[in-house]
């Protein structure tokens, strides 16, 4: 039923202008749609990301969205750093921190937050 459908991460924000600046400026996502009700939709690969205004923005303490970037991991991480993205450091079992990347074997992952504290993630898969 849903196996052949793209999922849409849906991310709550408090300040739509700050979110637009972050998602378009720092992450370079392409806007697809903007509504007067405070909903932005962005293209991300073959899927979309929905960003909307909510009083509960930033209250999720878990990862809200992950991008699988493969071999481009280091380049994308460096490009995000150059745009001012700050990476989070976590104490994750079985992983070591190498710079801002969490590493376990051939896995690399990095987490960062949007202006509302939503946790976003890139990984090398």
**34-83 confidence digits (pLDDT tens):** 888 889 999 999 999 999 999 999 899 999 999 999 999 999 999 999 99
Judged against a pLDDT cut of 90, whether residue 121 lies above it is answered with yes
Q: Is 110 helix (H, G, I), strand (E, B) or coil?
A: strand
Sign (positive or negative) of CA dihedral 92, 64, 25, 75: positive
Q: What is the pLDDT of residue 10?
A: 96
- The domains of the chain, with CATH numbers, are 10-55+62-123 (3.10.180.10)
């Amino acid at each position: 039923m849903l196996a052949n459908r793209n999922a849409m991460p849906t991310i709550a924000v408090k300040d739509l202008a700050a979110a637009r600046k972050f998602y378009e400026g720092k992450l370079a996502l392409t806007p697809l749609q903007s509504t007067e009700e405070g909903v932005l939709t962005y293209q991300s690969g073959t899927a979309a990301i929905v960003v909307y205004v909510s009083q509960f923005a930033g209250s999720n303490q878990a990862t809200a969205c992950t991008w699988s970037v493969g071999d481009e991991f280091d380049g994308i991480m460096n490009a995000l750093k150059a745009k001012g993205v700050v990476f989070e450091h976590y104490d994750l079992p079985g992983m070591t921190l190498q710079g801002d990347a969490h590493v376990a074997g051939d896995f690399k992952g990095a987490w960062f937050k949007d202006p509302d504290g939503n946790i976003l993630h890139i990984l090398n898969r």
